[in-house]
Structure 1
Amino acid sequence: MGQKIIPISLRLNKKKNWNSKWIVNNNEYSNLLHFDLEIKKYFQNIFNYKNLKLIDINIIKTSKNINVYVYIQKNAKKYYNLSYNKIINHLNLYYPNNNIKLFIKNTQFFEFLKLRKNLKQIFDKIKKNNKINKNVKKMIYNFSYAFYTKNINIITFYIKQTLERKKTHKKFINNIDNMLQEFFKMFSNFIGYRLQFKGRLNKSKRKKKMVFQKGKIPLNTLEYDIKYHFNEFKTPSGICSIKLWVFFKPTKIKLNSKFLKKKLIKKNKKF
């Protein structure tokens, strides 16, 4: 039942929109589909090479004009020094009949800056000898960035990067599950998640399937908006897959009332 496992196709034009919009005849559909996938792969390879987080890509075509909207982190140009003019020239050389334009948009979220102080509570739980590793800080930053913007691509991309470098995977996978549980306790809008790994993990002779789940993921109900993302990472033993489902409430992000009460009680005790 692929339409239930991947909760995107059934919810299109209801809770989700198409990432690419083409105004063309039906006869040209198959050629343009491959053309769309090639452009997205081209950008993904560039951003992966520079270790830059690509949040989203939207493509819109009208007549001969193609507008590509790329959503990236704030101030990414300064840190990674990407030459965007060269990218446009390369695309126009490969596809001379089309006029391709590139629009780069920085994602700004003010709620993340306001609620960033509350992340100290997570740091206190994960502390060891009053010190926090740099890897743990990166993990918390990536997870918080993904939850406030509601883009799960960031989590799967972070998992892919780290697992490709490491030889043993079990310890890191358990840390990710613990981190998701902490966010599940913190936010009332975060109702459930499911994380799945498949492949020859930890240099095993046979492929394994590891599933971590907590809360509810109602795939049958079309009214709910469920975020889903799939990614792959390479290991010496073969290719492994990552699947992530996350279910949010359709409201603004707020901290859980129980979490706030605990924080207020601790402050009063200090005084």
Structure 2
Amino acid sequence: MGQKVNPIGLRLGINRTWDSRWYANKGEYGSLLQEDLKIREMLEEELKQAAVSKIVIERPHRKCRISIHSARPGIVIGKKGADIEKIRNKVKKFTNSEVHINIVEVRKPETDATLVAQGIAQQLERRVAFRRAMKRAVQTAMRMGAQGIRVNVGGRLGGADIARTEWYREGRVPLHTLRADVDYGVAEAETTYGIIGIKVWIFKGEIMEHDPMAHERRATEGGDAGGQGRRGPAAS
């Protein structure tokens, strides 16, 4: 039986890079890694409503530079920068390094896998029918330039007694092609019946060294749309 590996982890060092970018000796590595985990956990909790796509942590000499990729940068920054100053003070409790925070705007949240998964989760928590939420997310992503998208939802769908998994796909999502720019995101919806897990794969095009348009497409997070819709049970 085929199992799906994380598409981002598979492409690290090929066309994706790490979200924590720093080096440390053996004695410091464990404590710095623990700092990273605590900082990420705190930021994700504090910025639940800010549509945060990813958090990148870099550690130049005695500094901690955090880049927050958000579709709603205004919520992160706050009025006259008040909220971001509060966040900086909270981060300082976890590290002795000098803290710098950068806010990066996600220009196309409709084609960001993590944000799409979060959007579906929020709809399920508001009791929107799961098929409608999936189809709406897929159609919006394709309209905004994705070349393919697949959405999986699993759990007690519609309040059913037995948990199951359903999926919907449009376009093509080549998981085995390493040069393919495949974004992947997960989220959980906490419903009255239990937790429903959401997984989203979005194919934005292929990245080739000899194709300058591919690098431009990667920067703008876009691509050409195409493909036919399909829905059915997940392969076991």
- The TM-score bracket by the shorter chain reads 0.7 to 0.9
Residues of 1 paired with 2:53 and 2:184: CA distance?
14
Does the 8 Å CA contact 2:112/2:202 hold for their aligned counterparts?
Answer: no
Deviation at 1:152, TM superposition (A): 2.1
Is the helix fraction higher in 1 or 2?
1
Q: What pairs up with 1:159-198 in 2 under 5 angstroms?
A: 159-166=120-127, 169=128, 171-181=129-139, 183-184=141-142, 186=143, 190-198=146-154
Q: Aligned in 2, Cα 1:163/1:80: closer, same or farther, shift over 3 Å?
A: farther
* Matched residue, 1:237: 193
Post-superposition CA distance 1:188-234 (Å, at most 9, x none) = x5322110001112221111111112222211121111110111121
**TM score, norm. by length of structure 1:** 0.67
Q: What pairs up with 1:4-153 in 2 under 5 angstroms?
A: 4-48=4-48, 51-72=49-70, 73-76=72-75, 77-78=77-78, 83-95=83-95, 98-107=96-105, 109=107, 145-147=108-110, 150-153=111-114
In the comparison of the two structures, how many residue pairs are matched?
210
Does the 8 Å CA contact 2:123/2:133 hold for their aligned counterparts?
Answer: no
Query: Which structure 1 segments of 5+ residues have no match?
Result: 110-144, 258-271
Equivalent residue letter for 1:158? G
Does the 8 Å CA contact 1:68/1:100 hold for their aligned counterparts?
Answer: no
Q: Aligned in 2, Cα 1:254/1:21: closer, same or farther, shift over 3 Å?
A: closer
Partner SS, residue 5 of structure 1: coil
The CA RMSD measured in Å over matched residues stands at 2.8
Partner SS, residue 132 of structure 2: helix
Deviation at 1:27, TM superposition (A): 4.6
Deviation at 1:173, TM superposition (A): 3.0
* Matched residue, 2:157: 201
* Matched residue, 1:115: none
Partner SS, residue 64 of structure 2: strand
Residues of 2 paired with 1:44 and 1:182: CA distance?
25
Identity of aligned residues (%): 24
Does the 8 Å CA contact 1:196/1:243 hold for their aligned counterparts?
Answer: yes
**TM score, norm. by length of structure 2:** 0.76
Is the strand fraction higher in 1 or 2?
2
Equivalent residue letter for 2:17? N
Q: Aligned in 2, Cα 1:27/1:222: closer, same or farther, shift over 3 Å?
A: farther
Partner SS, residue 34 of structure 2: helix
Q: Aligned in 2, Cα 1:61/1:255: closer, same or farther, shift over 3 Å?
A: closer
Query: Which structure 2 segments of 5+ residues have no match?
Result: 207-213, 227-236
Q: Aligned in 2, Cα 1:71/1:181: closer, same or farther, shift over 3 Å?
A: closer
Does the 8 Å CA contact 1:88/1:100 hold for their aligned counterparts?
Answer: no
User: Bigger relative contact order, structure 1 or 2, given CA contacts below 8 A and separation 6+?
Assistant: 2
Deviation at 1:16, TM superposition (A): 0.3
Residues of 2 paired with 1:229 and 1:205: CA distance?
27
Deviation at 1:17, TM superposition (A): 0.7
